[in-house]
Amino acid sequence: MSDNPLNIRQVHHMEFYVGNAKQADYYYRNAFGFSRRAYSGLETGDREKTSYVLQQGTVRLVMTTPHNPDSHISEHIRKHGDGVRDIALEVDDADHAYEMALTRGAVSNEAPHTLKDDSGEVRRASVRVYGDTIHSFIARRKYEGPFLPGFIESNLDGRDAGLLRIDHFVANVELGRMLEWEEWYKKVFGFTRFLTFDDKDISTEFTALNSVVMANDSRSIKFPINEAAPGRRKSQIEEYIDGYYGPGVQHIALLTNEIIPTIKKLRDNGVEFLEVPDTYYEELGSRVGSIDEDMEKLRDLRILVDRDDKGYLLQLFTRPVEDRPTLFFEIIQRKGCQGFGKGNFRALFEAIEREQARRGNLV
């Protein structure tokens, strides 16, 4: 059996369905430092929806809003609020990826079709995964346009914050369904389990969760799948699923090579991060040992550090970027460590629980 039966290369883009794409475009440019690179909407002949394509490093986010209330996009927003609809994957051959996925047990969302404009053509298909989330398969055939057929170039530079690529993204699924989805990604995509965390790794006095990290053969795509584990109070996973009305993408981790200036810039731009208590920094030196960064700067910016046998990582988590307690972002810098910040889980989840309690959701 091939390790990559669908010939998946990497994440092509992530598409969000949002209530107001014009304002989301402004927010991701001015707060997160993305630059607008392409546009599609009424002016380009799309009567159904408007989309803005935002890019920073190799990270491409597409913000899409519907024009009418009967659209499936409107239904998605009515149910979920703003959130990730599509984790689109670049493949060698979309027809092959789609046929292979269906043969291996995937449910179709959209059969293969050709998208075309003056810049060339692209073949696209999609399958359904957890909740209302889908994976598109995208195969470019010498396509020269700024994004995909139907989009025009639209350049508006944002305040670049040094974000380079997607490090990982995370799915929250219902209690008891994590292993089912692990099996799905193994069987359908040929991915393997890269790491496991259980409630002994990820628990506080009140709540716990389980997580398996899936990865493709080249490790260019890594994504944990989380489920709640039984605890005394409602976990952050349950809060997410209640708020999103189903499973979905919980966070997207973006890689930087210089986390100190990146976090400084994002904070200056008004991005809100989880509050890390002073006590975290009192024990940090003894926990992670010697690191290159100035501890004072890390403390000032509230950056978290974790170490494993291969090195260390620095990370920080935003608050949810919607009013529902759903999707948030992680900013991460890796110095050898390929983990996910296990040593920070407790401090992090306690910080999340304080915010959950303020929302009346730690019950």
Q: CB nearer to Fe ion: give 15 or 330.
A: 330
* Tokens standing for residue 9: 């290369």
For residues 305 and 327, give the distance between their C-alpha atoms in angstroms, rounded to a whole number: 22
Task: Indicate whether 214 belongs to the interface with Fe ion (CB under 5 A).
Answer: no
* Tokens standing for residue 24: 């989301």
Task: Indicate whether 348 belongs to the interface with Fe ion (CB under 5 A).
Answer: no
Task: Indicate whether 178 belongs to the interface with Fe ion (CB under 5 A).
Answer: no
Question: Between the CA of residue 161 and those of 24, 154, 220, 260, what are the distances in Å?
Answer: 17, 20, 22, 10
Contacts (CB under 5 A) with Fe ion, residues 28-47: none
The CB-of-170 to Fe ion minimum distance in angstroms stands at 6
Classify residue 355 as exposed, middle or buried by CB count within 10 Å of its CB (0-12, 13-18, 19+).
middle
The CB-of-252 to Fe ion minimum distance in angstroms stands at 9
For residues 317 and 355, give the distance between their C-alpha atoms in angstroms, rounded to a whole number: 13
The DSSP result for 28-71, as a single string, is HHHTT--EEEEEESGGGT-SSEEEEEEEETTEEEEEEEESSTTS
Comparing CA positions, the residue from 154, 164, 161 lying closest to residue 31 is 161
The CB-of-169 to Fe ion minimum distance in angstroms stands at 8
Binding residues for Fe ion, total number by CB under 5 A:
2
For residues 76 and 288, give the distance between their C-alpha atoms in angstroms, rounded to a whole number: 43
Which of 25, 239, 330, 353 binds Fe ion (CB under 5 A)? It is 330
Contacts (CB under 5 A) with Fe ion, residues 242-271: 253
Q: CB nearer to Fe ion: give 207 or 211.
A: 211
Task: Indicate whether 327 belongs to the interface with Fe ion (CB under 5 A).
Answer: no
Q: CB nearer to Fe ion: give 129 or 253.
A: 253
Q: CB nearer to Fe ion: give 209 or 253.
A: 253
Q: CB nearer to Fe ion: give 190 or 339.
A: 339
Task: Indicate whether 304 belongs to the interface with Fe ion (CB under 5 A).
Answer: no
Task: Indicate whether 208 belongs to the interface with Fe ion (CB under 5 A).
Answer: no
With a CB cutoff of 8 Å and minimum separation 6, the contacts of 146 are 37, 38, 53, 152, 153, 154
* Tokens standing for residue 19: 């209530």
- Sole window of 133-141, 179-187, 205-213, 326-334 interacting with Fe ion (rule: CB under 5 A): 326-334
With a CB cutoff of 8 Å and minimum separation 6, the contacts of 268 are none
- Sole window of 79-87, 99-107, 297-305, 330-338 interacting with Fe ion (rule: CB under 5 A): 330-338
Q: CB nearer to Fe ion: give 306 or 330.
A: 330
The CB-of-349 to Fe ion minimum distance in angstroms stands at 12
Let me know: does 259 contact 169? Beta carbons within 8 Å. Answer: no
- Sole window of 26-34, 182-190, 207-215, 329-337 interacting with Fe ion (rule: CB under 5 A): 329-337
Q: CB nearer to Fe ion: give 137 or 169.
A: 169
Let me know: does 163 contact 56? Beta carbons within 8 Å. Answer: yes
| Helix, strand, coil distribution of the chain in percent, nearest 5 | 25, 40, 35
Q: CB nearer to Fe ion: give 6 or 14.
A: 14
The CB-of-219 to Fe ion minimum distance in angstroms stands at 15
* Residues that bind Fe ion in the complex, under the rule CB under 5 A: 253, 330
